[in-house]
Structure formats: structure tokens, C-alpha cells
């Protein structure tokens, strides 16, 4: 263990014990425990004392043992403990099932080279002008990362990018532009759909708990326009900062569609599932239910086999579940409300409040995992909205969108997101380049989010 980890371990345990030793007026005993769990989780997540998914499981474990009806502690009359199944069932929350469907679909796509072949086809119309090649790379990355994991999409696009880089002059700034365009587009594309990136899941689950059902298609209506604008902006920015010197770059992607029965099954299932998700508003079948379609069809046709199931990123699901669960106990024990009540939010105007949330989310998630940031912020945001401080039921939705979108636009540092880390590790991009364009994109995104809060979302809700 490194020194940082030791410090983290000490601080985490201190954070856990602190609320138990002190007594905050107006907060239930259970609220004190929930605060301890929150502080422990926050510190462990920040310092990565243990793997972040492991912290998530620790959260669920502590809640089950300390805060559930079946736990070891008996609680006073001020708190009626929830059954332990409430906490455990976060592991099979509808949003987790939606993600599971997404994972299966994405991994099967990789297995049958669907992702790479789609890239080949989609890149074709962009010609050989470096400017448009960058736009092509970004569009394809964004589209794929809206349905697949940002990281997997980035890894795949890097395999496409490297032969292109090899054909580009070593001093051509376009190399940096192209290498940056991919992680940025992957991060941006992730916001477009509920399954695009895990923070979306944490937020949507929290909204669900408030009785707000977020349809797949409607999320896209809220978020996709922002993604498209940001994608074009990022493209423009990268061209300005790193103008291509070459006038022509040959794209020479080779490959062919797999034509086995299983591969064709995958193509069909992929298309049908995505179609059903997008059109949820028309047919009303919940996206989590649709998500079972790829899981069931692909496994029963042996398109997706036991070995493939083992390879799924289960730890991401656990990470999300921990985030959902953490919010659950903060709401139930009244901790979230207590925190909200403790601060005089009324002094701040509505938009300033939203801006603070967006900015905090952006800054935090540049250093922490996006999912962790969302998990830590969403309970407060929801409480704030439900307590009526920021007014109206629509505000719950909006605060959720602000948190989810802001966390995803954090792409300043290599450690901000895994796609950034991959791009920097190729050695083409210097951290300095990433900081410059990543900061500009982040700040622009926050401004756009605030504008949308004021002028776009209110008209849809």
C-alpha cells in the first residue's frame, strides 16, 4: 500500500467514526450512521484505498448490517428501517438490468467485430480531408459510445487510429488533434443515451426512486442535442488548436462482415434492441425489459456464451449499485434533508445554484471516477430539489440531468476518464494538450448545460 492509501484508510475510518462520536441536533441516530457510511465511502472512493467497486459493495454491506430491519442494530422510533432486500436489490435495479443488456450487446458486438465493421462503413463518407476525417472519427466514436462503453469504444478507435497516425507526418499537429478527438468524442457520446455511461445510471436510478420514470428516448431528447453541439464544438476547437498540415490522409480500413448465423443473429438483435430503446415512447415497453432481449436471445442462440458472460464488466454494475444504494439510505434516514436544511440555499438564485452543482460535479469528476462523483452528489441534489428550495417537480429532473451531464464532461486530465488515459498512453498526446482543450470543452459544456436548464429542458418537462 502506498502512503496515500494509508492516509485514505485512516481518514475513511475516522470519517466513519466521527458522526458516531458526535451528536448533530436534528439528525436521527440512523442519520448519523448513514453519514458515517457516506464519509467512509467518499474518502475510500477519493483515495482509492480499495478498488472503487469494492467500496460500493462495502457500502451495501454496511447498510445491510447497520441500517436494515434485519441488521445488527435496533433503531429508535425516529427511523423505521427498510428491509435489507431494499439495499441488496440495487444490484438488480432496472437500470442495472438495462446496463447488463447494454454490456451483453456491446461485448457481443466486439466478439463479432460489429463495432469495427460499423466504423469502417460509417467512416467511408468522410473522404480523405484530415478535417473531415477527424469529424468522422469523432462522430463514429460518439455514436458507438452512446451504446457501448466509452472505454471499449476508445480502445477500438485507437486500433483504427494507429495505422492512420503511422501514415501521418510525425510533425503534423493533426496527430494530436486526432488522438484527442477520440477520447473526447467517447466522453461526449456517453451522455447521449441512458446506457452511454454509468453516471447516467446512478442519476436515472435516483430519479426512479423519486417516482420519475425516465424513458430511453426522452433522455436522448434531453441530452443528445447537447452531445451533438459539444461534439461539433470539440471538433472546431481541435481544428483550431491543432490545424492539420497534410491536405490528404488515406483511410485504408480493411475488413469484412462476418456472415455466420451467430453473427447475423447479433446484427439483428443489435438493431432491434436499439430500435426498441429509442422508440420506448411509442410502444411503452420499459427499456430495462427491452434490455433482457439481447441477454436472452444472444445466450439462447449461443451467440453469447459462458466464457463471454464471465468477461462482462460486472464490477461496473456493482459500482453503480453502490452509488444507488448510498443515495437510498441518505434519503431514508433523513440525512440528505438534514444536510439541505443546514444550508441556507434560499440566499442563492436558482441558476447560481444549478451552476454551483454543475461546476462541483465537473471539478470533482476530473479527479474522481464519474460514477463516484454522481453517486456522491445525486442524494444532495435530489433532496435539494424535493425540499422545494429550487422549486417544482421538474427541478428534480433537471438537477439530475445537470449532475449526470456535468460529470461526463470532465476530460481535463488523463486520470479524468479511462478514455483520456488510453489516449495519453499512446504517447501522441501530451498531458498539456489535453488540459488546454479539455478545460475549454468542460467549461463550454457547463455553460451550455446552464443555458439548457434555462431555455431548453423547461419546455420539454
- CA dist list (Å): 192 to 121, 177, 330: 21, 23, 28
One residue of 18, 50, 91, 155 binding other proteins per CB under 8 A: 155
Residue that the C-alpha cell 422510533 belongs to: 77
Out of 194, 334, 381, 418, the residue judged to bind other proteins by CB under 8 A: 418
CB atoms within 10 A of CB 154: 27
Residue 313 interacts with other proteins (CB under 8 A): yes or no: yes
With CB under 8 A as the contact rule, the residue among 425, 430, 458, 460 that binds other proteins is 425
Beta-ladder partners of 68:
82
Max intra-chain CA distance, the chain = 74
Nearest CA among 269, 339, 389 for reference residue 32: 339
For residues 375 and 201, what is the distance between their CA atoms, to the nearest angstrom? 10
Contact between 370 and other proteins by CB under 8 A: the answer reads yes
Minimum distance, C-beta of residue 393 to other proteins, in the bound complex (Å): 30
Q: Would you count residue 319 as binding other proteins (CB under 8 A)?
A: yes
Q: Residue 115 CB, nearest distance to other proteins (Å)?
A: 8
Instruction: For the segment 38-57, give every residue that binds other proteins (CB under 8 A).
Output: 52
Residue 251 as a binder of other proteins (CB under 8 A): the answer is no
| Set of cell numbers at residue 16 | 466513519
From residue 100, alpha-carbon distances to 124, 288, 317 in Å are 31, 9, 8
**311 in contact with other proteins (CB under 8 A):** yes
Does residue 158 belong to the site contacting other proteins (CB under 8 A)?
yes
Shortest distance in whole angstroms from residue 161 CB to other proteins: 8
Query: Whose Cβ is closer to other proteins: residue 19's or residue 101's?
Result: 101
Out of 117, 149, 168, 407, point to the residue binding other proteins (CB under 8 A).
149
* 3-class SS letters over 183-226: HHHHHHHHCCCCCCCHHHHHHHHHHHHCCCCCCHHHHHHHHHHH
User: Binding marks (x or -) toward other proteins, 186..205, rule CB under 8 A?
Assistant: ----x------xx-------
Contacts of 447 (CB under 8 A, 6+ apart): none
* Nearest-approach distance from CB 150 to other proteins, in angstroms: 5
> Residues 14, 162, 300, 460: which binds other proteins (CB under 8 A)?
162
315 binds other proteins (CB under 8 A): yes
CB of 259 to other proteins, least distance (A): 20
Grid cell in block for residue 239 = 481544428
With CB under 8 A as the rule, give the number of residues binding other proteins: 35
Output the smallest distance, CB 391 to other proteins, in A: 33
In whole angstroms, give the CA distance from residue 219 to residue 281: 11
- Asked if 369 is part of the footprint of other proteins (rule: CB under 8 A), the reply reads yes
Which of 333, 355, 366, 371 forms a contact with other proteins (CB under 8 A)? 371
End-to-end CA gap in the chain: 49
Q: What does the alpha-carbon distance between residue 3 and residue 161 come to, in Å, rounded to a whole number?
A: 38
By CB under 8 A, the residues from 83 to 142 that bind other proteins are: 107, 110-111, 115
Q: Which residues contact 254 (CB under 8 A, 6 or more apart)?
A: none
> Which one, 36 or 418, has the nearer CB to other proteins?
418
> Angle at Cα 73 formed by Cα 72 and Cα 76, nearest 5°?
155
Interatomic CA distance for residues 187 and 191, integer angstroms: 7
User: Which parts of this chain interact with other proteins (CB under 8 A)?
Assistant: 52, 107, 110-111, 115, 149-152, 155-156, 158-159, 162-163, 190, 197-198, 311-313, 315-316, 319, 369-372, 417-418, 421-422, 425-427
Amino acid at each position: 500500500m502506498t502512503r496515500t492509501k494509508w492516509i485514505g484508510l485512516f481518514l475513511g475510518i475516522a470519517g466513519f467514526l466521527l458522526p458516531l462520536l458526535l451528536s448533530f441536533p436534528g439528525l436521527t441516530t440512523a442519520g448519523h450512521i448513514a453519514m458515517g457510511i457516506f464519509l467512509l465511502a467518499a474518502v475510500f472512493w477519493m483515495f482509492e484505498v480499495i478498488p472503487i467497486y469494492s467500496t460500493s459493495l462495502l457500502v451495501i454491506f454496511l447498510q445491510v448490517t447497520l441500517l436494515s430491519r434485519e441488521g445488527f442494530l435496533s433503531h429508535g422510533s425516529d427511523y423505521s428501517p427498510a428491509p435489507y432486500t431494499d439495499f441488496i436489490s440495487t444490484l438488480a435495479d432496472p437500470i442495472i438490468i438495462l446496463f447488463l443488456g447494454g454490456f451483453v450487446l456491446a461485448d457481443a458486438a466486439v466478439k463479432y467485430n460489429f463495432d469495427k465493421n460499423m466504423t469502417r462503413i460509417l467512416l467511408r463518407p468522410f473522404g480523405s480531408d484530415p478535417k473531415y476525417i477527424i469529424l468522422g472519427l469523432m462522430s463514429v466514436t460518439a455514436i458507438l459510445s452512446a451504446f457501448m462503453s466509452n472505454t471499449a469504444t476508445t480502445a477500438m478507435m485507437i486500433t483504427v487510429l494507429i495505422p492512420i497516425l503511422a501514415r501521418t507526418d510525425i510533425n503534423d499537429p493533426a496527430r494530436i488533434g486526432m488522438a484527442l478527438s477520440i477520447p473526447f468524442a467517447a466522453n461526449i457520446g456517453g451522455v447521449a443515451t441512458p446506457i452511454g455511461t454509468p453516471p447516467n445510471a446512478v442519476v436515472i436510478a435516483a430519479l426512479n426512486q423519486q417516482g420519475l420514470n425516465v424513458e430511453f428516448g426522452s433522455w436522448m431528447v434531453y441530452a443528445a442535442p447537447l452531445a451533438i453541439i459539444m461534439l461539433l464544438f470539440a471538433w472546431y476547437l481541435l481544428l483550431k488548436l491543432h490545424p492539420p498540415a497534410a491536405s490528404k490522409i488515406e483511410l485504408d480500413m480493411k475488413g469484412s462482415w462476418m456472415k455466420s448465423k451467430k453473427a447475423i443473429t447479433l446484427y439483428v438483435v443489435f438493431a432491434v434492441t436499439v430500435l426498441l430503446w429509442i422508440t420506448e415512447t411509442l410502444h411503452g415497453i420499459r427499456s430495462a425489459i427491452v434490455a433482457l432481449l439481447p441477454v436472452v436471445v444472444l445466450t439462447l442462440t449461443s451467440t453469447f456464451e459462458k466464457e463471454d458472460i464471465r468477461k462482462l464488466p460486472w464490477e461496473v454494475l456493482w459500482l453503480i449499485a453502490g452509488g444507488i444504494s448510498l443515495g437510498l439510505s441518505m434519503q431514508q434516514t433523513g440525512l440528505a434533508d438534514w444536510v439541505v436544511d443546514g444550508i441556507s440555499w434560499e440566499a442563492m438564485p436558482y441558476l447560481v445554484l444549478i451552476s454551483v452543482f454543475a461546476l462541483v460535479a465537473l471539478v470533482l469528476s476530473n479527479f474522481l471516477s464519474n460514477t463516484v462523483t454522481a453517486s456522491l452528489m445525486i442524494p444532495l441534489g435530489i433532496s435539494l430539489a424535493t425540499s422545494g428550495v429550487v422549486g417544482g417537480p421538474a427541478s428534480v429532473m433537471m438537477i439530475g440531468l445537470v449532475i449526470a451531464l456535468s460529470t461526463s464532461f470532465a476530460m481535463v486530465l488523463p486520470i479524468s476518464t479511462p478514455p483520456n488515459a488510453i489516449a495519453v498512453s499512446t504517447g501522441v498526446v501530451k498531458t498539456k494538450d489535453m488540459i488546454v482543450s479539455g478545460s475549454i470543452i468542460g467549461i463550454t459544456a457547463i455553460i451550455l448545460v446552464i443555458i439548457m436548464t434555462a431555455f431548453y429542458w423547461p419546455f420539454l418537462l
